[in-house]
Amino acid sequence: MSEQYSADVVVIGSGIVGALAAHRLAAQGASVLILEGGPRIDRATLVENFRNSPRKGDFVSPYPFSSWSPHPVYQPEDNDYLVQAGPYPYKAEYIRIVGGTTWHWAAQAWRVLPNDLRIKSLYGVGRDWPIAYEDLEPFYYEAEVKMGVSGAPNNGSPRNKPFPMQPVAESYLEQRFRERLAPGGYQVITNTTARNSRAYDNRPACCGNNNCMPICPIDAQYHGGLSVEAAEQAGAKLIHNAVVYRIEHDAQDRIVAVHYYDPQKNSVRVTGKTFILAANGIESPKLLLLSASDKFKNGLANSSGTVGRNLMDHPSNSLSFESDEELWPGRGPMSPASINHLRDGAFRADHAAFRIDISNSSKVPAVTQTLIAKGVYGTELEEQIRYHAARECSIKNVLEVLPDPENRVVLSDKKDALGIPRPQVHYAMSDYVHRGMAAAREEYTRIAQLMGGTNLRYSPDGIYGNNQHITGTLAMGSESKDSVVDGFGRSHDHPNLYIASTGVMPTAATVNSTLTAVALALRSAEHIHANA
Amino acid sequence: MQTIKTVWSALTLAAAMCASAHAADMGTDIVKRGEYLATAGDCIACHSTAAGKSFAGGLAIATPLGKIVSTNITPSKTAGIGNYTLEQFTDALRRGVRADGERLYPAMPYTSYAQLSDDDVKALYIYFQQGVAAVDEKPAATDLPFPFNIRVSMAAWNLLFLDGKPFVPDGSKSVEWNRGAYLAQGLAHCSTCHTPRTALMGEDKSRPLAGADLGTWYAPNISSDAVSGIGSWSQAQLAEYLRSGRVAGKAQAGGPMAEVIDNSLRHLNEEDRQALATYIKTAAPQHDAQDSQAADSFGQAYAGIGALRGAPLASDTSKFNGAQLYDANCASCHRANGEGSAQWGGKDASLPALFHNTALGHLNSNNLVMAILEGVQRKAGGPEVLMPAFSNKLSDEQVATLSNYLLQHYGNPAAKVTAEQVKSLRAGGETSSLLTLARVGIVLVIALLLIVAVLLGRRRQPKP
């Protein structure tokens, strides 16, 4: 086992969060090495995989599975990679390839609300963050410029500078929702997204392919693959198919090296001065737990015992209905607009806050399947597809879950192909969540009424969709006894170990977690640079 | 002769009227006119870098002979042309002679600028002395390989290719035509790119505007021939192309022409664009016997990618066929059948159709390859166009496979692309044979001299 690589900064994981931290540090002159467990896949291959896939709605299907760097797959069959300990199934999706999971996302790049960081103080629930919104603001902006973010200025998150670009033109569906919901007191705002409305960063403007998920075919939407390219152009080096399985510390508790397997299970040791763990909210705690030593018997960075705990995501319930007019969902981005006013308020003491998201995904496949199942065929089928696909709508929420130490990621006793323990999740839904879902359902009913909705189909009570916003498992806090990292993302236990991940967010708020994780990671990178 | 004089007087009179309308600030007017003329001449395109200050030079212009670095033409007295007199400025512009007497390389289109009227040269001079901010930074000097580093060699070249006479109006033509001819032959220097060059790199006067390979991009035949040129274009289409760089069903500007439009032609007044169009429409037809139909008339909508569905994909993209490469890289904007999209989000989205598109209609397929490698980007302020560059995404073989698929179905099926061609274009294009010719020529001359010397020496040797 020879030492083959060394760098000032070693980043474990090449997703958008780790890669943008790597980019920042490389641009400032550090030697940076990024280790990615999965393979490198080009966009053209992914686009062709998507077009050839019979399961257009399965956002994982275009992404190749590699046995040495496995990720959860649920269709056509559950590969059981993520071991479910219950009681509630937590079926997170993520992708282990160069660039990570933002290869497929709807580019939602929201800031949290200032109050999201203080829900314990304000509402007596959850926990407060060790930093304030103002600490994050400049890094949010830096992330927005890097990623090409636009959105409604009145989205509730204060900003010092305007968005780097205007939003993509409103789709007809968004326009009609906005107009028809206004008399009911609902303000429909354009979503905050990392999607080009104009040529930006040598990438073209969105031309409305409406398959943001599973793959934007023209890179109008920002993704982690672009972050990796930027990091490499700034001088960072990337090794793919490098599955990190152990982090090594010295007697002073400093991290000295990480060890990775290649697909043939040859082990390589990589040394560095500073380490950034950026392998997502499930794989990162797994790796810390795997790296237990004689001195750190419960895993690294885990003196608090909270590594892997407080697992959160955004569950959703939803309503599908038919509007009384043609809205033609499917033109423009898949997730263009939101109702934003239920993200904060005194009610948070009692039930979960949420954002209501208006879908603009094409309904043609779902409508067609339903009609075929009913036995409709021939010209009648064609006419009915047109009729229903033009009117079918769906709305859902993105709802805040509170941190609960019992919701957690641990190592299972099952192993992957390289012999590395697979992660096991324990997850449950609280009454706080159920009450929030009930409140959302009432809003859906009113919204459907305003849209002249018929054939209302609510998602079943107590069964929620998941949004793949893995949060909380590496929470930051000011106290080392109940958190994993400090306000700069630095481990309380290892002074040269930083964690860049959605996992460091102490609470989940009501918006997609990517932009916040990137901003936190850029702030960590700034801290690393300043203390180098 | 009388008519010529009349036309010319009319032109001068018009200019004089413009000037006298604001006699009070005539100085400002001349500066403004000079600025307009400098825009028409697109001086900034070569005499600035993308990140640099206006007119401070420093752009390394790739030529078949090597890189020629543009000079600082700001009024800086240390780094620019601040010490130039009007006469020296005129000599540089029209004769290619610097203030110190050294020769300019004809990358500076002085053979075209020689056509400029005295008034226009003066206006340009005043603009460059008074209307441009001085920048005291000297760009690197041009360092061409031997023998072209001997600038005086250009004097001989000028004897062959520099017709130093100013523009003479044609009395049999309209004022508009004469204005167009003056602009096209002079400031706009169309022929610099669009007229083929001889082996000695001079413009081939026998084939004006017949189209020329610029090394990477191809400047098409813009003569009035209906098949080989643009004789089928209407005056309005031509003027629109000069304004926006885009005429649906015909062509869109890419590469250097996109820059010319963004830097220069877009900023001209409509009368001048119409005048240019009027003149270009009458440019003597230059027919190429190899051309059978107009470059903008090939192809039709074709959705070849439908047959791909359900067929297994190759293990990696290097084994993709043309349809698969098209589907993976192009179809999301140009659509499955190549028809593009005229409207998106209420604005002209510039996602052009691939058929009836000159980029795929010329026998010279370089522009298609260059558009794929470099993409097409237009400057801010103009129509928004961003076709991404695929040079770091597609290999030479992939570009060739994709291009041939496109040419076969949407373009000129007689045109072909080879991987070697892509490789060469990716590397910056073929170098001129002139370099080899010149060197071989010099070696030959030296060899001859040596032989003569040896022979002479032998003769003088005393016989034993």
Per-residue pLDDT tens over the stretch B303-355: 988 888 888 888 788 899 999 999 999 999 999 999 998 764 445 557 899 99
CA B197 centroid distance within chain = 13
Task: ipTM value, please give it.
Answer: 0.92
B97-149 confidence digits (pLDDT tens): 999 998 898 889 998 999 999 999 999 999 999 999 999 999 998 888 877 78
* The two structure tokens encoding residue A426: 């324990």
- Kind of pairing between the strands at B341-344 and A392-399: unpaired
Which chain B residue shows the shortest CA-CA distance from A169? B345
Q: How far is B326 from chain A (nearest CA, A)?
A: 9
CB under 8 Å to A356, separation ≥6 — which residues? A338, A339, A342, A395, A396, A397, A440, A443, A444, A447
Helix, strand, or coil (residue A179): helix
Q: How far apart are CA A532 and CA A515, in angstroms?
A: 25
In whole angstroms, give the CA distance from residue A310 to residue B369: 54
Which member of A48, A202, A203 has the closest CB to residue B328? A48
Residues of A assigned a catalytic role: 469
Closest CA in chain A for residue B327: A48
Other Cβ atoms within 10 Å of B257 Cβ, number = 21
Check if the beta carbon of residue A316 is closer than 8 Å to that of residue A330.
no
**pLDDT tens digits in sequence order for chain A, 532 residues long:** 455 899 999 999 999 999 999 999 999 999 999 999 999 999 999 999 999 998 888 999 999 999 999 999 999 999 999 999 999 999 999 999 999 999 999 999 999 999 999 999 999 999 999 999 999 999 999 999 999 999 999 999 999 999 999 999 999 999 999 999 999 999 999 999 999 999 999 999 998 999 999 999 999 999 999 999 999 999 999 999 999 999 999 999 999 999 999 999 999 999 999 999 999 999 999 999 999 999 999 999 999 999 999 999 999 999 999 999 999 999 999 999 999 999 999 999 999 999 999 999 999 999 999 999 999 999 999 999 999 999 999 999 999 999 999 999 999 999 999 999 999 999 999 999 999 999 999 999 999 999 999 999 999 999 999 999 999 999 999 999 999 999 999 999 999 999 999 999 999 999 999 999 999 999 999 999 999 8
CB pairs under 8 A between A and B: 74
- For chain B, the structural domain boundaries read 1-188, 295-426, 436-464
Sequence spans of domains, chain A? 3-148+222-313+404-429+468-530, 170-192+315-399+430-463
Give A198's contacts in chain B (Cβ within 8 Å): 384
Gap between the Cα atoms of B110 and A488, Å rounded: 61
| Distance from C-alpha of B210 to C-alpha of A93, rounded to nearest angstrom | 59
Q: What is the pLDDT of residues B251-264, one digit of tens each?
A: 999 999 999 999 99
Which of A284, A320, A404, A410 shows the shortest CA–CA distance to A13? A284
How far is it, in rounded angstroms, from Cα A181 to Cα A327? 14
Which DSSP symbol is given to A459? P
Question: By a Cβ cutoff of 8 Å, what residues of chain B touch chain A?
Answer: 308-311, 313, 316-317, 320, 324-325, 327-329, 332-333, 341, 344-347, 349, 351, 375, 377, 384-389, 393
3-state SS string for chain B: CHHHHHHHHHHHHHHHHHHHHCHHHHHHHHHHHHHHHHHHCCHHHHHCCCCCCCCCCCCEEEECCEEEECCCCCCCCCCCCCCCCHHHHHHHHHHCECCCCCECCCCCCHHHHCCCCHHHHHHHHHHHHHHCCCCCCCCCCCCCCCCCCCCCHHHHHHHHHCCCCCCCCCCCCCHHHHHHHHHHHCCCCHHHHHCCECCCCCECCCCCCCCEECCCCEECCCCCCCCCCCCCCCHHHHHHHHHHCEECCCEECCHHHHHHHHHCHHHCCHHHHHHHHHHHHCCCCCCCCCCCCCHHHCCCCCCHHHHHCCCCCCCCHHHCCHHHHHHHHCHHHHCCCCCCEEEECCEEEEECCCCCCHHHCCCCCHHHHHHHHHCEECCCCCCCCEECCCCCCCCHHHHHHHHHHHHHHHCCCCCCCCHHHHHHHHCCCCCCHHHHHHHHHHHHHHHHHHHHHHHHHHHHCCCC
Touching B: A residues 138-197, CB under 8 Å:
168-169, 197
- 3-state SS class at A130: coil
| Residue A207 to residue B317, Cβ atoms within 8 A | no
Using the Cβ of A31 and the Cβ atoms of chain B, whether some distance falls under 8 Å is answered with: no
Tell me which fold the domain A170-192+315-399+430-463 belongs to.
Cholesterol Oxidase; domain 2 (3.30.410)
Q: How far apart are CA A83 and CA A415, in angstroms?
A: 10
Mean pLDDT of chain B: 86
- Residues in B closer than 8 angstroms to A204, CB to CB, are 333, 386-388
Q: Is the four-CA dihedral A201, A203, A206, A209 of positive or negative sign? A: negative
Cross-chain Cβ contact B308/A51 below 8 Å: yes
What would the mean pLDDT of B76-95 be, rounded to a whole number?
A: 95
Instruction: Determine what percent of chain B is predicted with pLDDT higher than 90.
Output: 63
Q: To the nearest whole angstrom, how far is the Cα of A361 from the nearest Cα of chain B? A: 17
Kindly report the backbone phi and psi dihedral angles of residue B342, in degrees, each rounded to the nearest multiple of 5, phi listed first: -75, -35
More confident residue, B157 or B396: B396
pLDDT of residue B26: 56
pTM: 0.90
Q: Which of B320, B333, B388 sits opposite A207 (nearest CB)?
A: B333
**Does the pLDDT of residue B290 top 90, yes or no?**
yes
Query: Cα separation of A506 and A132, whole Å?
Result: 12
What pLDDT score does A532 carry?
84
pLDDT digits (tens, 9 = 90+) for B135-169: 999 999 888 887 778 777 777 778 777 777 889 99
The confidence band for B384, taking pLDDT boundaries of 50, 70 and 90, is: confident
Residue with tokens 């610029």: B214
For A179, residues 6+ apart whose C-beta sits below 8 A from its C-beta are: none
Other CB atoms within 10 Å distance of the CB of residue A130:
18
Q: Which of B329, B349, B393 sits opposite A207 (nearest CB)?
A: B349
Pick one of 2.60.40.1730, 3.50.50.60, 3.30.420.10, 3.40.50.2300 as the CATH number of A3-148+222-313+404-429+468-530. Answer: 3.50.50.60
**How many percent of chain B have pLDDT more than 70?**
85
Whether the Cβ atoms of residue B110 and residue B93 lie closer than 8 Å to each other: yes
In chain A, the residue whose alpha carbon lies closest to the alpha carbon of B386 is A204
DSSP letter assigned to residue A217: T
Looking at domain B295-426, what is its CATH homologous superfamily? Answer: Cytochrome c-like domain (1.10.760.10)
Q: How far is B401 from chain A (nearest CA, A)?
A: 15
DSSP single-letter state for residue A481: T
- Residue A349 three-state SS: helix
Q: With an 8 Å Cβ cutoff, are A42 and B393 in contact?
A: yes
Beta-carbon contacts of residue B65 (< 8 Å; ≥ 6 apart): B144, B145, B148, B201, B431, B432, B434, B435
CB contact under 8 A, A203 and B386: yes
* Interchain proximity B344–A51, CB inside 8 Å: no
